[in-house]
């Protein structure tokens, strides 16, 4: 059977804590953070990691612009109020309250922040371009009733057969709501044509009024 100490040790839950600072971090500041964490039975404190400069770092709102964020991960055993610990760090480190963020493991924005950090710090050579590349052997073998090479061949064959049986189907006349259809044999009288000898412009010499101002 397990001893009481073993049961007690298993019952104690370790609480991850993530500290973010929108300012440069030195060794003295790290010592201060470790000292403050001692109140909560600290298990471990990681080394600071730095993200790339961002116009609006995540978790810091719009007040912080073009700043690098230093992240320190720690683990404690005693319950901790993130908001209280955040204010204590702001006072002990002598930095503005808005420059400090303290979060837990289950914060909904933490997962998105980790993905953003990975995207910004990843090597471009690690990415594999998908758009504009040929299908793989496995993808090219996939066939279906409405897609695939076989469907395309059948579709083109159907178009060729229909054109051979009924050539008129290949001639398509597009009609719109403003298009006007004339009956066959009807003469177009909408505008006079230049080739029409009887067509006269409204500004022609014959249609001008007599000029009575000349003597």
Please write the tens of the pLDDT for every residue from 38-70.
999 999 999 999 888 888 787 787 778 888 899
pLDDT at position 57 is 82
pLDDT at position 140 is 61
Higher pLDDT, 43 or 110: 43
pTM of the model: 0.48
Q: What average pLDDT score do residues 118-132 get?
A: 63
Distance in angstroms (rounded) separating the CA atoms of residues 36 and 16: 15
Please write the tens of the pLDDT for every residue from 128-143.
666 666 666 666 666 6
Q: Can you give the residue ranges of every domain in the chain? A: 13-124
Collapsing DSSP to helix, strand or coil, 145 comes out as coil
Chain centroid to CA 200:
63
Q: What average pLDDT score do residues 163-174 get?
A: 66
Closest CA to 93 of 145, 33, 135, 34: 33
- Position 91 confidence tier, pLDDT thresholds 50, 70, 90: very high
Chain centroid to CA 19:
27
Distance in angstroms (rounded) separating the CA atoms of residues 189 and 182: 11
Q: Which CATH superfamily is domain 13-124 in?
A: ACT domain (3.30.70.260)
- The DSSP code for 208 is S
pLDDT at position 153 is 82
pLDDT at position 45 is 92
């Amino acid at each position: 059977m397990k001893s009481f100490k073993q049961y007690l040790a298993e019952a104690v839950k370790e609480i991850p804590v993530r500290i973010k600072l929108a300012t440069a971090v030195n060794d003295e500041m790290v010592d201060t953070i470790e000292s403050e964490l001692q109140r909560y039975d600290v298990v471990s404190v990681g080394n600071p990691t730095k993200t790339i400069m961002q116009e609006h770092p995540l978790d810091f709102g719009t007040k912080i612009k073009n700043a690098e964020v230093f992240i320190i991960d720690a683990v404690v055993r005693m319950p901790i109020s993130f908001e209280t610990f955040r204010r204590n760090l702001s006072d002990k480190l002598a930095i503005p309250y808005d420059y400090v963020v303290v979060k837990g493991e289950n914060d909904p924005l933490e997962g998105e922040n980790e993905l953003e950090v990975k995207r910004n710090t990843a090597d471009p050579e690690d990415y594999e371009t998908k758009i504009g590349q040929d299908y793989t052997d496995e993808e090219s073998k996939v066939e279906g009733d409405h897609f695939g090479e076989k469907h395309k061949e059948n579709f083109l064959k159907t178009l060729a057969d229909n054109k051979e049986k009924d050539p008129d189907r290949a001639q398509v006349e597009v009609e719109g709501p403003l298009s006007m259809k004339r009956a066959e044999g009807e003469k177009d009288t909408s505008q006079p044509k230049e080739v029409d000898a009887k067509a006269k412009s409204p500004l022609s010499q014959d249609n001008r009024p007599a000029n009575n101002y000349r003597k």
